[in-house]
Chain A
C-alpha cells in the first residue's frame, strides 16, 4: 500500500455554477490537521462579505473567534462569541475582479478530547489582510465542513476550494 505524503490533497471543488454552500463531507480521520485553501469570490454587489463555516452541520451558538486585521489605514482587532458559525475568512464582492485567498489550519480535528481550534490568514489585496483564531466548543471529531458567504450570498463561479490533510509522526 503506498505511503501518503505528509500534506495530502483530499478534495478540490471548483465552482462552475454559483453555489450557496460548499461542503466537504466524510472527511478521512487519518490526519492530524486539516488545511483549507479557499480562493473565493462572492455574490454581494455591495462589496466583500465574511466567509463562514460550520462543522458537522452544527448550527448552534458554539463558535467564537478573535481577529487582527489591517485595512490599509489602521490595524485593529475584533472578536465575537456564541456565533452560529465560525469565521473562515473574507469573500470578495460580485463587482470585484479579485478572488480572496483564505488559508485555514484546523488543528487536531479528529481528536475527541479537546474543543476544536483553527487559525486563518485572510488575504484580500483590495482592502484587507487579517489573521484569526477560532474555537468550536465541541469535542466531536470534525467529519464535515460547510463553507458559505455571510448573508446567504452565493459563492461565485471560478472559486476554488481545496482541502488538505497533514499527518504527524
Chain B
C-alpha cells in the first residue's frame, strides 16, 4: 500500500488532502531551556495568527525572585496586577498599579535551592487585538520542602498593541540552568 504524505496543519489551513492531520487547538511555538544562567528569557517574533497564548514552564532564580514580565520591550509604567497567595501559614493578597512589569510569583519568588524549580502556567488573552488592553492570568508556585508559596495572578498591560514579544526578567539574580519556558498558541474556531 502506498504511503501518504502527511501535512501538518498547524496554522490557518484547512484539512483538504488525504492524510492531513489536525494537530488540535494548541500549537507549540517555541521552547527555551537554559544551558547557562541567564538574566532574561525572551520570546520574539511571535506569530500573529492565534487567539491566545500560553506559557508553561519551570523556573529557578539565583536570588529567589519573581519573574517580571514585559511585552514588546515596553518598560514604561503601563502594567498593573493583582495576586492571591498562600505561603503555608496564611492567605494573602496584593496589587500593583503603574508598574514597569507584571510580577509573577512575587510573594515567595522562584526558589534558588538546587534542583528546585517552580512551575508556572500563564495565559495571555486576545494578544493580537489592537483595540483592547492586554490581560493575563497565571497560576504559579514554588515548593522546596521547607517553605513554599502558591499564587494566582491577574495582570494588565495598558496598550492596544499586538503582542509580538514577551520577556521574563527578574529584579536581581539570573534564571538558572535548566529553567524552561514553552510558548503555545491557542487557535480560534475556524482557524
Contacts and interface: CB of A to CB of B under 8 A. Distances in A.
A66 to B, nearest CB: 3
A14 B77 CA distance: 51
A66 B150 contact: yes
Contacts of A76: 86, 90-91
Given A6-B23, A32-B182, A168-B31, A133 B88 contact: no
Contacts, number: 156
Nearest to B87: A77
Interface string A77-93: 11101100000000000
A142 interface: no
8 contacts: A3-B21, A6-B24, A6-B27, A76-B91, A107-B117, A115-B115, A119-B121, A133-B141
Nearest to A5: B24
Given A107-B119, A115-B116, A117-B117, A169 B30 contact: yes
B180 interface: yes
Given A68-B85, A77-B150, A131-B139, A3 B58 contact: no
A67 B149 CA distance: 8
Interface of A: 1-7, 32-33, 64-69, 74-79, 81-82, 105, 107-108, 111, 113-115, 117-119, 121, 131-135, 137, 139, 166-169
Interface string B160-191: 00000000000000000010101110000000
Contacts of A166: 26, 56
A107 to B, nearest CB: 4
